[in-house]
Amino acid sequence: MEEIVPALGAGIVSTFICNPLDTIRINYQLNKPINYTLRSLYRGLNYGIIAVPSFWAIYFPIYKKFKETSVPKPIAAYISCCTASTFTTPFWVLRQRLQTGKEIKNMTLIKCYNGLIPTYIVNLNFTVQIPVYEYLKDKTYNSTFNTFLNTAISKTIATCIFYPADTIRAKIRNGDSFKLKPKEYYRGISIYLIRSIPYHTTVFCTYEFIKNLI
If one compares 55 and 206, the residue with the highest pLDDT of the two is: 55
Give the type of residue at 32: K
CA distance 193 to 191: 5
If one compares 18 and 199, the residue with the highest pLDDT of the two is: 18
pTM reported for the whole predicted model? 0.85
For residue 27, pLDDT beyond 70: yes
What confidence category does residue 211 fall into, taking pLDDT thresholds of 50, 70 and 90? confident
Domains of the chain, each with CATH number or no CATH: 4-213 (1.50.40.10)
Q: Which of the residue ranges 3-12, 65-74, 86-95 has the most confident prediction, judged by mean pLDDT?
A: 86-95
Length of the chain, in residues: 214
In the DSSP assignment, the letter for residue 182 is G
Q: What is the pLDDT of residue 192?
A: 85
Consecutive H or E run containing 107: none
Whether residue 8 contacts residue 58, with contact meaning beta carbons closer than 8 Å, is answered with no
Q: What is the pLDDT of residue 204?
A: 79
CA distance 52 to 45: 10
Whether residue 66 contacts residue 75, with contact meaning beta carbons closer than 8 Å, is answered with yes
